[in-house]
Amino acid sequence: MSNRCTHVPHIMMPKKGTDLSKWAVIACDQYTSQPDYWAETDRIVGSAPSTLRLTLPEVYLEDSNVGTRTAKIHETMRQYLTDGTLEELPAGMMLTERFSGGSCPRRGLVLALDLEAYEYKAGSQSLIRPTEKTVVERIPPRLKVRQGASLELPHIMILIDDPDRTVIEPLFDRVSSFEQVYHTGLMQNGGSIQGWFIPQGAETDLIECKLEALSERKTFNRKYGCTDEQALLPYAVGDGNHSMATAKAYWEDIKQGLSEAEQADHPARFALVEVVNIHDESLIIEPIHRIMFGVDADDLLNAALAFYKAQGCEASLDASGDHVFPFCTENSGGVLSVKNPKWAIPLATLQAFLDDYMESRKDVKIDYIHGEDVTRDLGSKPGNMGFFLPDISKNDLFRGVIFDGVLPRKTFSMGEAHEKRYYMEAKKIVK
C-alpha cells in the first residue's frame, strides 16, 4: 500500500508590490493572553493588505463580537480574491528559510497534505497524526471561522524524521535555480523569511518520492525497532494541530454532499502545511517539567510504587531504572525511577501515573513548567512537588507516537512564541 499523501498545491501569494512585512502576521494561536501584542499588530498593519484581516487571533475568540469579526474575515477573503490582491501561482511547492534570531535558520517546504490520511482521534493509525492529544472542544469555535471561508492560511508545521537530510536540505544546494518569490522582515521580533518557488514537475516528483522513501516499510521498521504491526508514520503534526483538526472537521462536513469524483480533487481535501525536518538544527525541543500542588509527597510516592507494580513495571526511589525522574519537595529531593517501563518515552511513563493519581485525589492540581530553576523554586514550596523531565531525543518523538499513540499533553516545547510560523502563503478551499 502506498504511503504517499502529499499533494502539489496551487499556492496563492499577494501581488507584486505588496508590503510583505505588513502582510505576514504570526499564527493566530500565539500571544493569547497579550491583547497589547495584537493591538500593536493592528496599528502596524493599518489599512495595508494583511493576513491579519484573513485570520482570527484567538485572543478575541471569546469576545461578544466574534461573529462580526468572522463575517468580516470572509468578506475580506472574497475581496482579496476579486480585486487581485491575491494571485494564484502555477502548481508547485515553496521552499522557505526563516531566520528568527537563533544560530541557524529553519528550513521548510510548503506543500499540501491529504486530510483523508490524517486522523486526530486516540488510537489513530493514519499516516498523518498529531504528536499531542487534540482537545476536541477547541474545534467548534475554529470551525465557525473556516465555514464560509474561501481561503486557508496555514500555521501548521508538519515534522518528518529525516536524520540523513535527504529531502529538504539538498534543495538549498541548488536554490539559485529556483525563483525567489519573497524575502522580507517579519514584524514584532519575528526575524525574516525568504521563499523560492518550485514548479510542479521533475523536481516535485523527486521530492514526493524522497518523502515516501522515509517510511518505506523495511526502512521504517529498522529505524524504530518495530514490526509490521506498528502503523507507518511519515508525518507528525508538530505545531498547529488544532488548525489541522479544524480543516479535517470541515472536510468531513462538506464531503458528505460530494460525489466520489468531486471528492478526489476538491481543494478543501488538501491542507497547506510547512514540512520541516525534526533534525533541522533550528528546532530546539525542550522538556516541560511538572509541578504538583496540594500534594503529600509520601502519599504520592507510595502510590507511584503501587501503580507501576500493578502495571508490571518495577519502581524504586533511586536512579537504577530505565526512566528516571528527579523530584523536589519542601524539605528534600530524590529520584523516582521505573524499570522495564511499558511506555516508549519517559514523559509517558510519568504522566500515566500522575493522571491516575489525580483521578482519585481531586484536590491535587498540576501545572506545566519551562525551565529547571522555576520548577525547583515552585516545587520546593509547602504542599508542592516538582518533577524534572529528561531532555527529549528527537528520535524519541516519532517513537513515542508510534508505540504509545499521541504523546501526553505538554510533552515538549518547540520554539518560543516569536519563532512560530507567520502566515504568508494561502490556498483556496472552495471551487
Same domain? 144 vs 179: yes
238 and 257 in a single domain? The answer is yes
193 and 209 share one domain: yes
Residue 209 confidence (pLDDT): 96
Q: Please tell me the predicted confidence (pLDDT) of residue 280.
A: 95
Same domain for 278 and 293? no
95 falls within a domain: yes
Do 272 and 324 lie in one domain? The reply is no
3-state DSSP assignment of residue 162: coil
Domain membership of residue 195 (yes or no) is yes
168-178 pLDDT, tens digit per residue, is: 999 999 999 99
Residue 184 in domain:
yes
Q: Are residues 87 and 168 in the same domain?
A: yes
The DSSP secondary-structure symbol of 343 reads S
Higher pLDDT, 132 or 193: 193
Residue 1 has pLDDT above 70, yes or no: no
The CA-atom distances, in angstroms, between 107 and each of 144, 211, 231, 380, 405 are 32, 15, 28, 41, 27
In a domain, 408, yes or no: no
Give pLDDT tens digits for 47-91: 999 999 999 999 998 889 999 999 999 999 999 999 999 999 999
Residue 407, domain member (yes or no): no
Torsion angle, alpha carbons of 159, 160, 161, 167, to 10: -140
Exposure on the CB side of residue 331, measured as CA atoms within 13 A = 4
Evaluate whether 400 touches 342 at the Cβ level (below 8 Å).
no
Residue 185 counted as domain residue? yes
| pLDDT range class, residue 338, cuts 50, 70, 90 | very high
Shared domain for 277 and 298, answered yes or no, is no
Within a domain: 255: yes
Please give the tally of structural domains in the chain: 2
Residue 394 reports pLDDT greater than 90:
no
- DSSP string over 70-134: HHHHHHHHHHHHHSSSEEEPPSEEEEEEEE-SSSS-EEEEEEEEEGGGB--STT---SEEESB--
Residues 275 and 299 in one domain: no
* Residues above pLDDT 90, as percent of the chain: 81
Minimum mean pLDDT range among 4-8, 245-249, 331-335 = 331-335
Rounded Cα gap, residues 295 and 227, in angstroms: 41
- pLDDT recorded at residue 180: 98
Q: Do residues 265 and 296 share a domain?
A: no
Q: Are residue 244 and residue 363 in the same domain, yes or no?
A: no
Q: For residue 44, is it within any domain?
A: yes
Verify that 19 and 96 share a domain, yes or no: yes
- Asked if residues 344 and 399 have their Cβ atoms less than 8 Å apart, the reply is yes
Euclidean distance between CA atoms 43 and 31, whole angstroms: 16
pLDDT per residue as tens digits for the range 345-358: 898 899 999 999 99
Q: What angle do CA 304, 305, 311 make, to 5 degrees?
A: 85
Residue 78 has what pLDDT?
A: 98
Domain that holds residue 320: 289-388
- Regarding whether 293 and 253 lie in a shared domain, the answer is no
Note the pLDDT of residue 245: 95
* Residues 259-272, mean pLDDT to the nearest whole number: 96
